[in-house]
């Protein structure tokens, strides 16, 4: 298989504008879960969005009351995000290679991004997220609902995409779409050293359709 990171980067660069229009619908179920997490944070809290895309709609909502840092592998999407949310920090790069200081964020969110990483990298990024979160901080993740391995296919009628999970329609046929997903929130244990083995406390979970 070709470099999966390049597949994702090139694919989203090609469909950045179209993806931004798709995401502009603020009625996505994950937005309700994001709202629940943000309400638990003090104003001015630092929030990291991994796989931030164009900043629509999650970044806009986060930046209303909090300090937003976004990371995305698509340069085209990062450029659009910087124009849309000038008061936030956006970093063009691979989220699996991102580096931040320990306890830098009160919340980390990632919507439909982890699935674009090779499976062997999942454990490592979750370990780093744990260290980036302040004690008691929240992690909110959405992924497609069905497990899959190394799927590559066309996305939004344009570029290709690589992913590890996919959605499933009512007939049971796998398809690439954002309409069947799992959204789960965890809270980092407020006790123990930051270098300790990750200790997550399940906070909430939902199947979004």
- pLDDT one-digit tens code per residue, 88-110: 999 999 988 899 999 999 999 99
Above pLDDT 90, what percent of the chain? 41
Quick one: tokens of 19? Answer: 């993806």
Q: What is the mean pLDDT of residues 41-51?
A: 97
Q: Across the strands, what pairs with 172?
A: none
All domains of the chain, ordered by start, with CATH? 4-190 (3.40.50.150)
Contact 194, 102 (CB under 8 A): yes
Q: What percent helix, strand, coil does the chain show, rounded to 5?
A: 30, 35, 35
pTM beyond 0.95: no
Contact 67, 46 (CB under 8 A): yes
- pLDDT one-digit tens code per residue, 12-45: 888 777 777 777 765 677 888 899 999 999 999 9
- pLDDT one-digit tens code per residue, 113-158: 888 788 888 888 889 999 999 999 999 988 765 555 656 555 555 5
The distance in angstroms from the start CA to the end CA of the chain is 31
């Amino acid at each position: 298989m070709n470099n999966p990171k390049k597949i994702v980067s090139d694919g989203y660069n090609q469909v950045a504008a179209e993806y931004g229009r798709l995401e502009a619908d603020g009625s996505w179920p994950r937005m309700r879960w994001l709202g629940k997490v943000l309400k638990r944070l003090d104003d001015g809290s630092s929030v990291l969005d991994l796989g931030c895309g164009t900043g629509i709609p999650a970044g806009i909502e986060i930046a209303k009351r909090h300090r937003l840092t976004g990371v995305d592998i698509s340069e085209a999407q990062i450029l659009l995000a910087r124009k849309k949310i000038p008061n936030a920090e956006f970093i063009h790069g691979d989220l699996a290679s991102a580096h931040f200081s320990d306890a830098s964020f009160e919340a980390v969110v990632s919507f439909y991004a982890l699935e674009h990483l090779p499976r062997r990298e999942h454990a490592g990024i979750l370990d780093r997220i744990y260290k980036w979160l302040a004690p008691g901080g929240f992690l909110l993740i959405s992924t497609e609902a069905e497990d899959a391995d190394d799927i590559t296919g066309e996305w939004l009628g344009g570029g290709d995409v690589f992913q590890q999970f996919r959605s499933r329609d009512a007939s049971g046929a796998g398809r690439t779409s954002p309409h069947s997903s799992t959204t789960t929130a965890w809270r980092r244990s407020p006790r123990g050293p930051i270098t300790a083995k990750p200790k997550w406390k399940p906070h909430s979970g939902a199947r979004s359709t």
